[in-house]
Amino acid sequence: MSLPQAVASSECFFLTSMKIELRLYASLGQYLPEKKEGNSCIVEVGPGTTIRELFFRFHIPPESRKIIFLNGIHAQGDEVLKDGDRVGAFPPVAGG
């Protein structure tokens, strides 16, 4: 998991972070933090964080996520996130 990088600014050091929108659908919604709006929330991650690392942070088991999207486009999970990205995931669906 990536750690935020320290950035020097004259006399202060602060951690850079990025805001990502995380949307978890159907049964995956149980992994969202309590402070959420419907099936989504805004989370802060450090530079270099991948989708897979984001899911690990929220304890979402790999077998629980079948379809992953990054900004509305199908993703694999190893993509590096950028500030303002939207990540969505759907669980496997069964039916007839």
The pTM of this model reads 0.79
CA distance 59 to 8: 32
Dihedral angle at the C-alpha atoms of 41, 48, 56, 58, nearest 10 degrees? -20
For the segment 18-70, what is each residue's pLDDT rounded down to a tens digit? 999 999 999 999 999 887 788 999 999 999 999 999 999 999 999 999 999 99
Q: How far apart are CA 70 and CA 52, in angstroms?
A: 12
The number of folded domains in the chain is: 1
- What range does the domain containing 65 cover? 6-90
Question: What are the structure tokens assigned to 79, written together?
Answer: 């993509």
And the tokens for 68? 């992953």
The answer to whether residue 96 is domain-embedded is: no
CATH code of the domain in which 74 resides: 3.10.20.30
Query: What is the C-alpha to C-alpha distance for residues 61 and 57, in angstroms, rounded to an integer?
Result: 10
